[in-house]
Amino acid sequence: MRDDRVRLEDIVEAAEAIEKYAVRGRHAFDSDELVQTWIVRHLQIIGEAERGLSPAFRERYPDEIWTRAIGMRNIVVHRYFAMDPDAVWDAIERGVRQIKAKAQTIPSEVR
């Protein structure tokens, strides 16, 4: 079973994977199917990892950012063909950095 520490590592790794290609900009995201697929897949990983964080973790480290990432995961998984590229790009620009930073600030005994 994956514990909270491993899930936080998953979040950081997926955020870094997104950053690797997001640096190419919005045009690359809109025009390159492989970049879009890569980024969307890693948003899913972040959402899945956050969804799997234990209730004890959520109680100890409450933050709306966990819920927002799970919501984005649900959008890209369940409404893929109706996905709003603007919402996804907004998540990339603002949410990914916040999530990564939050996951990295959790004390090392959890991480």
Tell which residue, 74, 82, 5, 85, has the closest CA to residue 39: 85
Domains in the chain: boundaries = 4-105
pTM: 0.86
Residue range 77-106: mean pLDDT, rounded: 83
Instruction: Please tell me the predicted confidence (pLDDT) of residue 104.
Output: 92
Q: How far is 44 from 74, CA to CA, in rounded Å? A: 8
**Single-letter code of the amino acid located at 14:** A
Token pair 């959520």 is at which residue? 58
Q: Quick check: 60 pLDDT over 70?
A: yes
Q: Which active-site residues does the annotation give?
A: 73, 78
Q: How far is 96 from 23, CA to CA, in rounded Å? A: 12
CA dihedral of residues 76, 50, 37, 16 (deg, nearest 10): 150
Least confident of 51-55, 60-64, 99-103: 60-64
Q: How far is 72 from 76, CA to CA, in rounded Å? A: 6
Instruction: Please tell me the predicted confidence (pLDDT) of residue 88.
Output: 85
Instruction: Please tell me the predicted confidence (pLDDT) of residue 91.
Output: 84
Q: How far is 11 from 42, CA to CA, in rounded Å? A: 9
Q: How far is 111 from 97, CA to CA, in rounded Å? A: 17
Instruction: Please tell me the predicted confidence (pLDDT) of residue 74.
Output: 72
